[in-house]
Chains A and B, each alone.
Chain A
Amino acid sequence: MDHHVKLPEGSIERQTTTLNLGPTHPATHGVFQNILELDGERIVSSEQTVGYIHRAFEKLAERRPLYQITPITDRLNYCSSPINNMGWHITCEKLLKIKTPKRVDYLRIIIMELARISDHLICNSIVGVDSGAYTGFLYVMQYRELIYEIYEEICGSRLTTNIGRVGGFERNFNATAFNKLEKFLKEYPKVLKEFGDLFIRNRIFMDRLQNTGGISAERALNYGFTGPNLRAAGVDYDVRVHSPYSSYEDFDFSVPVGKTGDNYDRFLVRDQEMWQSLSIIEQAYRKVQEFKGAEAEVYHAEVPEFYLPKKEDVYTKMEALIWHFKIIMGETAIPKGEVYQSVEGGNGELGFYFISDGGRTPYRLHFRRPCFIYYQAYSELTKNGMLSDAIITMSSLNLIAGELDA
């Protein structure tokens, strides 16, 4: 092709552009700022700025009794709040040496796996949105709605659930909750299958996701990856299997792993995990139905010194009133000690490092937030890639600003 202007070689300097992606940008799905140095559409280097929604949770927790910390944990990974809530309660139970009944464990597993499905569902459908396919996102939204309705039957709220108590649940699951669960188990497999069919072998989708944002197993481990992102790189580490909590050892499920650690493998691992979660929920529901008589009514451990009594009992019974008062005022003794407990959150190992000095509040509470740890790798994952791939990498890492900034 004939150029109109002929310039001597080297007369124009090669320049890079600095682009500010975020903190409020529709494509980042959260408050993230990336300062990108671009050569055309290729990313030469990037720097991440985080902390835009930092709310000092660890400091706040230092003056809150146990039950006031549960709503803080809601606001970590708000796509799967029940896992955070239960992780916190399990941490307290470990410190207080409370043993929960099997039925409580199974009910918890139902809720935690529903939360995992809703978390993965959002992540995977957002990956679809970012690669140009909006339909899947809208389609699965009605099943997230159904999951939220199940939460609503149990704890009364939907997004920031504040579900459960130390030792169990605030109330037994009612018939509506179980009916909705049955509806979910009946209808969801078809939807998930269809959702998979939309994407998994879709040529455009594969071309956009394969070989972008990949990481090797060694680098992923060094970066402290956990959860689906680590498993996509080929390491079968899952807290539910390695350090079972809430009786996960009673369940039969497999841990899907990927190979390349790229965006496509992360998508596939999450997709397969949803099928596994579904099977765990079915098993748990069957186990719950096997309880008969008085056992079928158990929904909390018998620990009056830590389990908040029912409100109607507080108004009518002396004992319940005393325990209520003691728990709220922090009069029940919490043992001294240090405990680390982790659960498999929606996007990795969510850890609670709880130091108690015997006071009414934690002396120090630290959250191990998987997002915060693996977001460090974002620079490496997107280097020398296209800007549009970096957007997909960001959503397929399942970054949740609330968790990252704590």
Chain B
Amino acid sequence: MAITNSYIQEKLTEKFGEQVTNFEETYGMLSFESPKELNLKVLQFLYDEPTLSFQFMTDLTAVHYPNQTGRELAVVYHMHNLVENVRLRFKVYTDISTPDVFTASKLFEAANWMERETFDFFGINFVGHPNLKRVLNVDEMDYFPLRKEYPLEDQTRIDKDDEMFGRG
């Protein structure tokens, strides 16, 4: 029997009570969040609980919401139960001044580079990560480029020397 989104929600609420919140179903995928301190406990529970067994980490990334004070950065995990073929989305929010989130790389080898990438672009400090350094950008970079305060170049700017771009 395939497990349903409401069953997953029931199981999680049974285990974590009020701490898992914001359950919603967007385009068929269950999405919920927990406090960031609980992220490993939730992932471990999803992994170990025999009727859930979300044992495949599809994706890990982050999103920056500059206007949500105290919850600026969201770390998003996409988990997949390959046997029952159910996916879910799990988020933890952290404030931008102390962006410490526990690493999932002990549980999933796949998380290793994905966390490095997330650190690289959003500056999330994955506590306990074995090798938390930049992966795609240069090591000397001193900012986190996917944060919203770094806009791309204004396409309408006119102070550029077009000669250099073959449009002179």
Listed in ascending order, the chain A residues whose CB lies under 8 Å from chain B are: 50-51, 54, 56, 58-60, 62-63, 94-95, 219, 221-224, 235, 237, 242-243, 337-340, 342, 349, 351, 353, 355, 363-364, 366, 368, 372-373, 375-377, 405-406
The answer to whether the Cβ of B126 comes within 8 Å of any Cβ in the partner chain is no
Minimum CB–CB distance for A404 against chain B, Å: 9
A51-B135, A54-B137, A222-B108 as given contacts; A340 in contact with B57, CB under 8 Å: no
The answer to whether the Cβ of B113 comes within 8 Å of any Cβ in the partner chain is yes
Minimum CB–CB distance for A202 against chain B, Å: 34
Q: How far is the CA of A237 from the CA of B80 in the complex (A)?
A: 11
Q: Are A94 and B112 in contact (CB under 8 A)?
A: no
Q: Are B135 and A338 in contact (CB under 8 A)?
A: no
A224-B56, A224-B58 as given contacts; A59 in contact with B82, CB under 8 Å: no
Q: How far is the CA of A341 from the CA of B42 in the complex (A)?
A: 24
The 3 closest A-B pairs by CB, nearest first: A224-B110, A51-B136, A54-B136
Q: How far is the CA of A60 from the CA of B145 in the complex (A)?
A: 11
Minimum CB–CB distance for B24 against chain A, Å: 9
- Among residues of A, the one whose C-beta sits closest to the C-beta of B117 is A372
A63-B152, A338-B26 as given contacts; A373 in contact with B61, CB under 8 Å: no
Partner of B31, one of A59, A224, A338: A338
A and B contact pairs by CB, cutoff 8 A, 27 listed: A50-B136, A51-B138, A59-B145, A60-B152, A63-B151, A95-B27, A219-B109, A221-B55, A221-B56, A222-B108, A222-B109, A223-B110, A224-B58, A224-B110, A242-B85, A337-B26, A338-B27, A340-B59, A351-B78, A353-B78, A364-B63, A364-B64, A368-B58, A373-B110, A373-B113, A376-B110, A406-B136
Interface of A is mostly: mixed
10 additional contacts (CB under 8 A) given A56-B145, A221-B55, A368-B59: A59-B145, A222-B110, A223-B110, A224-B108, A243-B87, A337-B27, A340-B78, A342-B58, A351-B78, A368-B78
Q: B132-154, CB under 8 A of A: which get 1 and which 0?
A: 00111110000001100011100
Partner of B58, one of A59, A222, A223, A351: A351
Contacts of A372 in B (CB 8 A): 113-114, 117
Q: Are B112 and A376 in contact (CB under 8 A)?
A: yes
The answer to whether the Cβ of B3 comes within 8 Å of any Cβ in the partner chain is no
Interface size in chain B (residues, C-beta < 8 A): 37
Q: Are B113 and A355 in contact (CB under 8 A)?
A: no
Contacts of B138 in A (CB 8 A): 51
- Among residues of A, the one whose C-beta sits closest to the C-beta of B105 is A376
Minimum CB–CB distance for A234 against chain B, Å: 13
Contacts of B112 in A (CB 8 A): 376
The answer to whether the Cβ of B29 comes within 8 Å of any Cβ in the partner chain is yes
Contacts of B85 in A (CB 8 A): 242-243
Q: How far is the CA of A363 from the CA of B31 in the complex (A)?
A: 18
Residue of A56, A235, A364 with most chain B CB atoms under a 10 A cut-off = A364
Minimum CB–CB distance for A318 against chain B, Å: 28
A235-B82, A355-B63 as given contacts; A59 in contact with B113, CB under 8 Å: no
The answer to whether the Cβ of B76 comes within 8 Å of any Cβ in the partner chain is yes
Q: How far is the CA of A60 from the CA of B153 in the complex (A)?
A: 10
Q: B148-168, CB under 8 A of A: which get 1 and which 0?
A: 001110010000000000000
Contacts of A54 in B (CB 8 A): 136-137
Q: How far is the CA of A63 from the CA of B154 in the complex (A)?
A: 10
The answer to whether the Cβ of B93 comes within 8 Å of any Cβ in the partner chain is no
Q: How far is the CA of A376 from the CA of B58 in the complex (A)?
A: 14
Q: How far is the CA of A63 from the CA of B145 in the complex (A)?
A: 14
The answer to whether the Cβ of B121 comes within 8 Å of any Cβ in the partner chain is yes
Contacts of A406 in B (CB 8 A): 136
Q: How far is the CA of A271 from the CA of B55 in the complex (A)?
A: 29
Contacts of B114 in A (CB 8 A): 372-373
Contacts of A353 in B (CB 8 A): 59, 61, 76, 78
Minimum CB–CB distance for A261 against chain B, Å: 15
A58-B121, A338-B89 as given contacts; A224 in contact with B109, CB under 8 Å: yes
Q: B56-73, CB under 8 A of A: which get 1 and which 0?
A: 111101011000000000
- Among residues of B, the one whose C-beta sits closest to the C-beta of A56 is B145
Q: How far is the CA of A295 from the CA of B112 in the complex (A)?
A: 49
Q: How far is the CA of A351 from the CA of B56 in the complex (A)?
A: 14
A338-B89, A355-B63, A368-B58 as given contacts; A50 in contact with B135, CB under 8 Å: yes
- Among residues of A, the one whose C-beta sits closest to the C-beta of B148 is A62
Q: Are A339 and B78 in contact (CB under 8 A)?
A: no
Q: Are A223 and B82 in contact (CB under 8 A)?
A: no
Minimum CB–CB distance for A250 against chain B, Å: 19
Minimum CB–CB distance for B72 against chain A, Å: 13
A56-B145, A405-B136 as given contacts; A223 in contact with B109, CB under 8 Å: yes
Q: How far is the CA of A85 from the CA of B109 in the complex (A)?
A: 29
Q: Are A51 and B26 in contact (CB under 8 A)?
A: no
- Among residues of A, the one whose C-beta sits closest to the C-beta of B108 is A222
Contacts of A377 in B (CB 8 A): 109
Minimum CB–CB distance for B112 against chain A, Å: 6
Q: Are A51 and B137 in contact (CB under 8 A)?
A: yes
Contacts of A405 in B (CB 8 A): 136
Which of chain B's residues 26-65 have a Cβ closer than 8 Å to chain A? 26-27, 29, 31, 55-59, 61, 63-64
